[in-house]
Amino acid sequence: MNSSRLLLAALMLASISLDLRAAAPKPTLSDVKYGPHERNVLDFYQAKSDAPTPLLIYIHGGGFAVGDKNAGAGFAEAALNAGISFVSINYRFSQHAIYPAPMQDGARALQFCRSKAKEWNIDPKKVAAAGASAGGGIALWLAFRDDMADPKNADPIARESTRLSCAYVVNAQSSYDPRFIKQHIKGDAYKCNELLQLFGIKAPEADTPTPQKAKLFEDASPINFIDANDPPVYFIYTYRNEMPEDPGITHGIHHPKFGLLVKEKLEKFKTECIVYWEGHYKGPQWIVFVSKHLSK
């Protein structure tokens, strides 16, 4: 999608935060480094508690090409009021490094936060992830992958778990495989510029990728890794669940079908999955859902 469409999507995502950003609290710690790249930084908001608190990690959207951790500030107040500490991260854009770099940064940030459990007074067994659009895709990628902890790694951060208690995502993609998107979403969403840039490909390769790129498509797609061990997920879409012949790239790449396809898979394992979209029953508030699963 072009810059104007990205701006429109960003404005719609901002509305989900219920305009809390104006009253958002200031971070306890700002621009904490969790990796070597200049965008490997996060803000930490500490909930007041004598006992270790749960943690919610927020991952901003922007097509893997724009955006900033400040987008998560509006969610921080709701988390803190619920007794949940909060982190908002930056990560490498696809212009810095193609997939799997953005997802690897999400995993590294999650492991880094767990390594700070004692210092930050957080419970490492109660960690959730949230995100919007591309950030939601990263959150799903973390939620559905097997634990990426490497117990024998010389780096103590790499030994930490990447498993989550739950995930909350807005306008998230459950697959980044252009072939999958073309199959399930009408129109040209499957070859939008941001998707092509994520894999470092040209438009024709979206249809006929090399074997190496096809493996990247499949590995990047959270829905491919769903199993019985995965956590509950709450999806929100700010678009209607309609499928015209050409929904437009912005609607197409944020279509509720991405969440509904995940719901079909998770229901087979009796794992809770809530999906709602514009004009549809909303269900419990996201913070109620997250709090419930972080209290277990």
Q: What is the pLDDT of residues 109-144, one digit of tens each?
A: 999 999 999 999 999 999 999 999 999 999 999 999
Dmax (CA) for the chain in angstroms is: 56
Do residues 62 and 32 lie in contact, with contact meaning Cβ atoms separated by under 8 Å?
no
pLDDT at 7 over 80: no
Peptide bond into 100 cis (omega under 30): yes
pLDDT at 188 over 70: yes
The mean-pLDDT minimum among 23-27, 191-195, 285-289 falls in 23-27
- Give the pLDDT score at 283: 84
Residue 126 neighbours by CB under 8 Å, 6+ apart:
54, 55, 165, 294, 295, 296
**Looking at residues 177-200, what average pLDDT do you find?**
97
**CA pair distance 82, 67, nearest whole angstrom:** 26
- Give the pLDDT score at 54: 98
pLDDT at 17 over 60: no
What does the pLDDT look like over 29-79, one tens digit per residue? 999 999 999 999 999 999 999 999 999 999 999 999 999 999 999 899 999
Identify the bridge partners of residue 274 per DSSP, sorted by sequence position: 234
Structure tokens at 184: 């399930």
- Give the pLDDT score at 9: 47
**Looking at residues 203-207, what average pLDDT do you find?**
96
Percent of the chain with pLDDT over 70: 92
Q: Please report which confidence band the pLDDT of residue 208 belongs to, taking 50, 70 and 90 as the band edges.
A: very high
- Give the pLDDT score at 20: 44
Q: Please report which confidence band the pLDDT of residue 23 belongs to, taking 50, 70 and 90 as the band edges.
A: low
Q: Please report which confidence band the pLDDT of residue 10 belongs to, taking 50, 70 and 90 as the band edges.
A: very low
What is 3-294's CATH superfamily?
Alpha/Beta hydrolase fold, catalytic domain (3.40.50.1820)
Work out whether the CA dihedral 25, 78, 235, 113 comes out positive or negative.
positive
**Looking at residues 170-194, what average pLDDT do you find?**
97
Percent of the chain with pLDDT over 90: 90
- Give the pLDDT score at 24: 77
Do residues 139 and 169 lie in contact, with contact meaning Cβ atoms separated by under 8 Å?
yes
Q: Please report which confidence band the pLDDT of residue 1 belongs to, taking 50, 70 and 90 as the band edges.
A: very low
